[in-house]
Amino acid sequence: MSVENKLKVIIRPLEKEDIDEVDLVAQKAYGTHHWSKDSFYSELQNKLAQYYIARLEDNTLAGFAGYWYIIDEAHITTIAVAPEFTRKHIGETLLKTILDDCYQKKVKYLTLEVRESNIPAISMYEKYGFESFGVRKGYYQDNNESALIMWTENIFWDKFKSKYEKNISNLKEIIDIQ
Protein backbone atom coordinates (compact mmCIF):
# COMPACT_ATOMS: atom_id res chain seq x y z
CA MET A 1 0.00 0.00 0.00
CA SER A 2 1.40 3.39 -0.89
CA VAL A 3 2.01 6.01 1.78
CA GLU A 4 -0.75 8.18 0.29
CA ASN A 5 -3.34 5.44 0.91
CA LYS A 6 -2.29 4.65 4.46
CA LEU A 7 -4.22 6.00 7.41
CA LYS A 8 -1.93 8.49 9.16
CA VAL A 9 -1.98 8.16 12.96
CA ILE A 10 -0.10 10.52 15.24
CA ILE A 11 0.66 9.06 18.66
CA ARG A 12 1.77 11.29 21.49
CA PRO A 13 1.59 11.42 25.28
CA LEU A 14 -1.69 12.52 26.83
CA GLU A 15 -1.70 16.12 28.06
CA LYS A 16 -4.18 18.02 30.25
CA GLU A 17 -5.51 19.86 27.20
CA ASP A 18 -6.60 16.52 25.67
CA ILE A 19 -8.76 15.34 28.56
CA ASP A 20 -12.07 16.88 27.40
CA GLU A 21 -11.73 15.07 24.06
CA VAL A 22 -10.54 11.86 25.77
CA ASP A 23 -13.65 12.02 27.95
CA LEU A 24 -15.86 12.26 24.84
CA VAL A 25 -14.13 9.25 23.26
CA ALA A 26 -14.48 7.33 26.55
CA GLN A 27 -18.23 8.11 26.61
CA LYS A 28 -18.64 6.90 23.02
CA ALA A 29 -16.51 3.79 23.56
CA TYR A 30 -17.79 2.79 27.01
CA GLY A 31 -21.19 4.43 27.40
CA THR A 32 -22.19 5.76 30.79
CA HIS A 33 -19.63 3.62 32.64
CA HIS A 34 -16.25 5.18 31.98
CA TRP A 35 -13.46 6.95 33.80
CA SER A 36 -14.15 10.48 34.99
CA LYS A 37 -12.15 13.47 33.84
CA ASP A 38 -10.73 13.62 37.38
CA SER A 39 -9.40 10.08 36.95
CA PHE A 40 -7.48 11.13 33.86
CA TYR A 41 -6.13 14.25 35.58
CA SER A 42 -5.05 12.03 38.47
CA GLU A 43 -3.36 9.56 36.11
CA LEU A 44 -1.29 12.40 34.64
CA GLN A 45 0.18 12.87 38.13
CA ASN A 46 0.84 9.15 38.63
CA LYS A 47 4.58 8.55 38.26
CA LEU A 48 3.95 4.88 37.43
CA ALA A 49 1.49 5.64 34.62
CA GLN A 50 1.91 6.50 30.95
CA TYR A 51 -0.98 7.49 28.67
CA TYR A 52 -1.09 8.15 24.94
CA ILE A 53 -3.56 9.55 22.46
CA ALA A 54 -4.00 8.68 18.78
CA ARG A 55 -4.93 11.52 16.48
CA LEU A 56 -5.64 11.36 12.78
CA GLU A 57 -4.08 13.67 10.24
CA ASP A 58 -7.04 16.10 10.56
CA ASN A 59 -6.38 16.27 14.36
CA THR A 60 -9.42 14.12 15.24
CA LEU A 61 -8.89 12.16 18.45
CA ALA A 62 -9.45 8.53 17.45
CA GLY A 63 -8.40 6.76 20.65
CA PHE A 64 -6.28 6.62 23.78
CA ALA A 65 -4.45 4.08 25.88
CA GLY A 66 -2.56 3.83 29.11
CA TYR A 67 -0.67 1.56 31.41
CA TRP A 68 1.03 1.42 34.79
CA TYR A 69 4.45 -0.09 35.25
CA ILE A 70 6.37 -1.26 38.29
CA ILE A 71 9.91 -2.60 37.82
CA ASP A 72 9.51 -5.31 35.14
CA GLU A 73 5.73 -5.57 34.90
CA ALA A 74 3.10 -3.42 33.17
CA HIS A 75 -0.66 -3.36 33.54
CA ILE A 76 -2.62 -1.97 30.59
CA THR A 77 -5.37 0.09 32.19
CA THR A 78 -7.22 1.08 29.04
CA ILE A 79 -7.23 1.05 25.28
CA ALA A 80 -10.23 2.86 23.86
CA VAL A 81 -11.12 3.72 20.29
CA ALA A 82 -13.99 5.92 19.17
CA PRO A 83 -16.63 3.66 17.58
CA GLU A 84 -16.33 5.39 14.20
CA PHE A 85 -12.64 4.37 14.07
CA THR A 86 -12.86 0.75 15.22
CA ARG A 87 -11.43 -1.88 12.88
CA LYS A 88 -8.95 0.66 11.50
CA HIS A 89 -6.01 -0.62 13.59
CA ILE A 90 -6.02 2.38 15.98
CA GLY A 91 -6.16 0.10 19.04
CA GLU A 92 -3.37 -2.01 17.60
CA THR A 93 -1.27 1.11 16.99
CA LEU A 94 -1.80 2.14 20.63
CA LEU A 95 -0.88 -1.37 21.81
CA LYS A 96 2.30 -1.17 19.70
CA THR A 97 3.15 2.12 21.43
CA ILE A 98 2.76 0.51 24.86
CA LEU A 99 4.86 -2.49 23.85
CA ASP A 100 7.56 -0.20 22.43
CA ASP A 101 7.64 1.64 25.77
CA CYS A 102 7.90 -1.63 27.63
CA TYR A 103 10.85 -2.71 25.51
CA GLN A 104 12.58 0.61 26.22
CA LYS A 105 11.90 0.40 29.96
CA LYS A 106 12.93 -3.28 30.14
CA VAL A 107 9.43 -4.29 31.25
CA LYS A 108 9.18 -8.06 30.77
CA TYR A 109 5.52 -8.88 31.36
CA LEU A 110 2.21 -7.22 30.56
CA THR A 111 -1.25 -7.90 31.92
CA LEU A 112 -4.75 -6.53 31.38
CA GLU A 113 -8.43 -7.24 31.89
CA VAL A 114 -10.85 -7.33 28.98
CA ARG A 115 -14.60 -7.92 28.78
CA GLU A 116 -15.38 -11.53 27.92
CA SER A 117 -17.70 -10.26 25.17
CA ASN A 118 -15.06 -8.03 23.54
CA ILE A 119 -13.99 -10.58 20.94
CA PRO A 120 -12.20 -8.07 18.65
CA ALA A 121 -10.00 -6.86 21.53
CA ILE A 122 -9.33 -10.41 22.76
CA SER A 123 -8.32 -11.41 19.23
CA MET A 124 -5.94 -8.45 18.98
CA TYR A 125 -4.33 -9.27 22.32
CA GLU A 126 -3.97 -12.93 21.38
CA LYS A 127 -2.42 -11.92 18.06
CA TYR A 128 0.27 -10.12 20.07
CA GLY A 129 0.92 -13.05 22.40
CA PHE A 130 -1.40 -12.38 25.34
CA GLU A 131 -3.00 -15.45 26.86
CA SER A 132 -5.97 -15.76 29.18
CA PHE A 133 -5.03 -17.01 32.64
CA GLY A 134 -8.22 -16.47 34.57
CA VAL A 135 -11.50 -14.68 34.96
CA ARG A 136 -12.59 -11.88 37.27
CA LYS A 137 -16.28 -12.66 37.84
CA GLY A 138 -18.60 -9.65 37.70
CA TYR A 139 -15.66 -7.29 37.12
CA TYR A 140 -17.54 -4.64 35.15
CA GLN A 141 -19.94 -2.65 37.32
CA ASP A 142 -22.24 -1.46 34.54
CA ASN A 143 -23.53 -4.94 33.66
CA ASN A 144 -21.69 -7.33 35.99
CA GLU A 145 -19.85 -8.87 33.04
CA SER A 146 -16.76 -10.92 33.82
CA ALA A 147 -13.30 -10.00 32.58
CA LEU A 148 -10.62 -12.24 31.17
CA ILE A 149 -7.25 -11.73 32.83
CA MET A 150 -4.63 -11.79 30.10
CA TRP A 151 -0.83 -11.95 30.42
CA THR A 152 2.17 -12.12 28.14
CA GLU A 153 5.19 -14.32 28.47
CA ASN A 154 8.47 -12.47 28.80
CA ILE A 155 8.35 -10.05 25.85
CA PHE A 156 12.12 -10.38 25.40
CA TRP A 157 11.87 -14.09 24.62
CA ASP A 158 12.48 -14.87 20.96
CA LYS A 159 9.03 -16.44 20.51
CA PHE A 160 7.25 -13.29 21.67
CA LYS A 161 9.60 -10.85 19.97
CA SER A 162 9.39 -12.55 16.57
CA LYS A 163 5.56 -12.50 16.72
CA TYR A 164 5.68 -8.83 17.73
CA GLU A 165 8.05 -7.91 14.90
CA LYS A 166 5.91 -9.74 12.32
CA ASN A 167 2.74 -8.00 13.57
CA ILE A 168 4.42 -4.59 13.53
CA SER A 169 5.71 -5.15 10.01
CA ASN A 170 2.15 -5.95 8.88
CA LEU A 171 0.76 -2.95 10.79
CA LYS A 172 3.21 -0.58 9.11
CA GLU A 173 1.91 -1.75 5.74
CA ILE A 174 -1.51 -0.25 6.49
CA ILE A 175 -0.86 2.54 9.03
CA ASP A 176 1.51 5.49 8.74
CA ILE A 177 2.49 5.89 12.41
CA GLN A 178 3.91 9.28 13.29
Active-site amino acid positions: 113, 125
DSSP letters of 146-162? -EEEEE---TTSHHHHH
The β-bridge partners of 76 are: 67, 112
Please check whether residue 146 is in contact with residue 136, taking contact to mean a CB–CB distance below 8 angstroms: yes
Cα separation, 41 vs 55, in Å, equals 19
Cα separation, 50 vs 76, in Å, equals 10
Please check whether residue 128 is in contact with residue 99, taking contact to mean a CB–CB distance below 8 angstroms: yes
